[in-house]
Structure 1
Amino acid sequence: MTPATLPGTPGLLLRLAAPVQSWGERSQFNERDTAPFPTRSGVIGLLAAALGRKRGEDIGDLATLSLTVRADRPGTVLRDLHTVGGGLPAPRTVTTAEGKKRSGATATLLSHRYYLADAVFTAAITADSGLLETWAQALRNPHWPPYLGRRSCPPEGPLLLGLVDDPLHHLVHLPIARRTPTGTRTVDVVFHGDQPLDRLGTHPQPGGDDGSTPAGEVTDDPVTFHARERSYRARPRYQRTLTLPAERCRGLGAVYLTALGSYLDQHATRPESALA
């Protein structure tokens, strides 16, 4: 059960950006998909790695968080044809469940792995204030390297933006990692959440959904990450599109990071909120 987010509730702001990231949603066997947004299980796994939690350890505290994600740049779906075992001598080919070695045409395993290329998301995490302090410290000094969905996807640039009051307000008003469009005064920005999104603000897309009712369901709420007993719960998925001022788009790279740092210096209300 995730908590409701009230105005003034403290939370963590994260920047989830990388050349490629992948947030598995229904992956099985040789098909490794990615959701179009960071999943609860992926973000909880990121925090668990930072905290040094081993697979099978309790994640009950992490399961209390609420996650809201802004898609600055949704990215492009990239498919990688991945091979394992091809061209190797028989003793070094893939081992079967029975402990034998594959041979002949079965010696090479093929898998399709999907990624989001050039995507950037900004995420707000809310939970008990004491937990947030612990998680923020872990993200500043992670026990294990953080990654965005898969270990092959390390984040680029700052990951933790800070611990702030009213993170959903900042999620709407933070600079957007997107080039400023020409010929328009507004841009449409998609938000994803595990709680209703009607509390995000007063900039609804004309004729659009206010995000108060689920847009679907996704099974990404982890019960355990145990290697042999991994299991997830289904939860409602909320989505909302806000029409925001185009001037909020502040470019890419160092230009964007400078604008982001300036915003946090001016508007974040907690001393922990400096760009980390």
Structure 2
Amino acid sequence: MASPYLVFSLSASLGSMGELAGHERRGSLLWPGHSALIGLMGAALGIRRDGDFSGLDSLKIDVAVFDSGTALRDFHTIQSVPAAAVKKPNSRPEAIRKAGGRLTTSITLRDYRAGVFYGVAVQGEGLEEIAAALRKPHFTLYLGRKSCPLSSPLNPQVVQADTVEEALGQVKVPFWLSRHVDLSEKVMVVGEQGSQRDYVHDVPLDRQRWHFAARDVGIRHVELPGKTMK
């Protein structure tokens, strides 16, 4: 029996899909995680980061990786005041003055994926409202970081499909990518199903402190039925 799915596309010249983040390295997954997509839909609906995401957290999301792009690493040089030099400063300028100008310099790494394209299928409540918001988003949408704007409209639509694969086969491909998306090849789909299993930390526990829990995801390589729309 057919079920409703919200399907949309995500393309960006640069994307950064959150991974476990330390002080010196911010990695990127090959696909946007659950929390990133919930955040994107929430931004479209006008929900601020400290807002109520309870209506979105229960959505079931599958991602088709049409093009995972190319790895790109950016290097940042940062300076900080040695913790032992100043205790409880009121501001950074005050800390620098009290430390006598002594600063600790370190290099941090930021990982990106260049030239990515994904298809997303969402199941749950409120799909029509989310689709309308994705067409006219309240806040600017980006893929991971604010330095990663989307390169095309999301083309959201609510479709009827018997399977997730059938729904993903109805994703609209931007015309300039149509030559590069080969539907005759198998596509990696990330969701709850899949013989290959992996753990990703993309379940938000505390959005204020950026704490995330691990989630078991399924990875499968399938041929999408039907024809992806262009």
> Normalization by structure 2: what TM-score?
0.80
Following superposition, the deviation at residue 143 of structure 1 comes to 1.5
TM-aligned CA deviation for residue 30 of structure 1: 2.5
The root-mean-square deviation of aligned C-alpha atoms, in Å, is: 3.1
The reply to whether residue 155 of structure 1 matches residue 138 of structure 2 is no
Matched, 1:39 2:24: no
CA distance 1:181–1:77, shift in 2 (3 Å): closer
1:123 — aligned with what? Answer: 120
Query: Aligned ranges for residues 1-276 of structure 1 at < 5 Å?
Result: 7-84=1-78, 98=89, 99=91, 100-101=95-96, 103-106=101-104, 108-128=105-125, 131-166=126-161, 168=164, 169-172=166-169, 174=171, 177=177, 179=179, 186-193=184-191, 195-196=192-193, 211=194, 213=195, 215-226=197-208, 229-243=209-223, 260-261=229-230
Structure 2 residue matching 1:218: 3-state secondary structure: strand
CA shift, 1:120, in A, is 0.7
Question: How many aligned positions are there?
Answer: 214
Contact 1:59 1:223 in 2 (8 A): no
What secondary structure, in the 3-state scheme, does the structure 2 residue paired with 1:12 have?
A: strand
Percent of pairs with identical residues: 31
Per the TM alignment, residue 84 of structure 1 is displaced from its structure 2 partner at its CA by: 4.3
Shift of 1:160: 3.2
Q: Secondary structure at the match of 1:18?
A: strand
Normalised TM-score (structure 1)? 0.67
Asked if the contact 1:56–1:224 (Cα under 8 Å) also holds between the matched residues in 2, the reply is: no
More helix by share: 1
List gaps (5 residues or longer) in structure 2. 82-86
Q: Which has the higher strand share?
A: 2
Contact 2:5 2:167 in 1 (8 A): no
2:190 aligned partner, one-letter code: H
Q: Deviation at 1:172?
A: 3.5
CA distance in structure 2 between the aligned counterparts of 1:59 and 1:180, rounded to whole angstroms: 35
Structure 1 57/76 Cα, relative in aligned 2: closer, same or farther at 3 Å?
same
Deviation at 1:192, TM superposition (A): 0.9
Q: CA deviation at 1:161?
A: 2.8
- Distance in 2 (CA, whole Å) between partners of 1:160 and 1:97 is 50
State how far apart, in whole Å, the 1-side matches of 2:31 and 2:204 are: 16
SS in 2 for 1:118: strand
Deviations 1:5-36 (A, max 9, x none): xx522121121111010111101223111011
SS of equivalent residue, structure 1 residue 151: coil
Any conservation in 2 of the 1:72–1:178 contact (CA below 8 Å)? no
Describe the SS at the equivalent of 1:71.
strand
Amino acid at match of 2:152: G
Report what 1:202 is aligned to: none
SS in 1 for 2:217: strand
| d(CA) in 1 for partners of 2:181, 2:115 | 18
Unaligned runs of 5+ in 1: 1-6, 91-95, 197-210, 249-258, 262-276
Q: 1:234 to 1:186 in 2, by over 3 A?
A: same
SS at the partner of 1:25?
strand
